[in-house]
Amino acid sequence: MEQVSKYADNTALLLRSLDGDENATEELLVINAPLVRSIAGRFTGRGTDLEDLIQIGNIGLLKAVRTFDPARGCAFSTYAVPLIFGEIRRHLRDDGPIKVSRTQKRLAAMLAAAREEATKDGRELRLEELAARCGVTPEEAATALDAVAPVRSLSETLYGDEEDGPTLGAALGDSEACEKLFDRLALSMSIEKLPPLRRKIILLRYYRDLSQQQTADLLGLTQVKVSREEKKILAFLRSELS
């Protein structure tokens, strides 16, 4: 309860910070330290020490403090999360050991152009089709697209196919909530790599709680086909999240 009350102090401190009170700014950084640590912990094992990641995340937190507008109508932690996340991710890409090569950037641009061209024709290309058009493997295409993927907005829904679903803005300031948020974010990003049919199967089976037979009926498939696809999907997700 003490941590919750501390986060509730964000609004008053932010108003003081915006008026130039540096003590309020420092107190905001202390109060929201668990938020930064939770996010930084998601990037351990990538060649940068946790404490360094926390310092980089604090830059994002400070940016959030400096640019937050109370008129936005959202909690400060909700606004701060993507800035902290983006600052760390930017470091790993541009300054850290994980960089986006020019080759990957060029490939990502080619893939984006191919996808846009198909969209104009009213088609949604599967990853395999997109890769074939650009003369690369699906794995190479997925890697290039993921490397240049923008940080997601917390106003987006967690599951792209579900318009009225929960948003990423459900994040709370405490570390447990942030841990759950980014676990779900990692899962969502992995699901986005699946072909459209498999994404629909996941949506119907696990987010709308339909049986395999109900899912098969909706998609015009057999129950056996859905079962086989589901096993492949789960194997893929385990590999992605391990």
**Residue 87 vs residue 94, higher pLDDT:** 87
pLDDT greater at residue 144 or residue 194: 194
- Residue 78 counted as domain residue: yes
Task: Flag whether 117 is in a domain.
Answer: no
Quote the pLDDT of residue 2: 40
Last residue of a domain, one of 51, 71, 95: 95
Query: What average pLDDT does the structure give for the chain?
Result: 76
Domain assignment present for residue 82? The answer is yes
Whole-angstrom Cα distance, residue 25 to residue 17? 5
∠ at Cα 204 (203, 206), nearest 5°? Answer: 70
* Identity of the amino acid at 237: L
Distance CA 16, CA 222 (A): 62
pLDDT above 70 for 124: yes
Q: Is the pLDDT of residue 7 over 70?
A: no
Domain-located, residue 106: no
Closest to 193 in 3D by CA, of 228, 156, 241, 242: 241
Which pLDDT belongs to residue 103? 78
Among the candidates 95, 126, 156, a domain finishes at: 95
Here the CATH number for the domain that contains residue 232 is 1.10.10.10
- Pick from 95, 121, 148: which residue ends a domain? 95
Any idea which of 47-51, 103-107, 179-183 has the lowest mean pLDDT? Answer: 179-183
Where does the pLDDT of residue 106 fall: very low under 50, low under 70, confident under 90, or very high at 90 and above? confident
pLDDT for 149 equals 62
Report if residue 151 sits inside a domain: no
Helix (H/G/I), strand (E/B), else coil: 100? coil
pTM of the model: 0.42
pLDDT bracket for residue 183 (50, 70, 90): low
Domain that holds residue 238: 194-242
| pLDDT, greater one: 97 or 92 | 92
Q: What is the pLDDT of residue 66?
A: 85
For the chain, what is the domain count? Answer: 2
The end-to-end CA distance of the chain, in Å, is 34
pLDDT of 184 > 50? The answer is: yes
**Percent with pLDDT over 70 in the chain:** 73
| Residue 129 contacts residue 195 (beta carbons within 8 Å) | no
User: Cα separations (Å) of 215 from 51, 85, 126, 200?
Assistant: 46, 36, 20, 9
Question: Does position 171 have pLDDT exceeding 60, yes or no?
Answer: no
Of the ranges 155-164, 193-202, 222-231, the best mean pLDDT one: 222-231
Phi, psi values for residue 75, rounded to 5°: -65, 150
**Percent of the chain with pLDDT strictly greater than 90:** 7
Contacts of 109 (CB under 8 A, 6+ apart): none
pLDDT band at 73 (very low <50, low <70, confident <90, very high): low
Question: What pLDDT is attached to residue 148?
Answer: 64
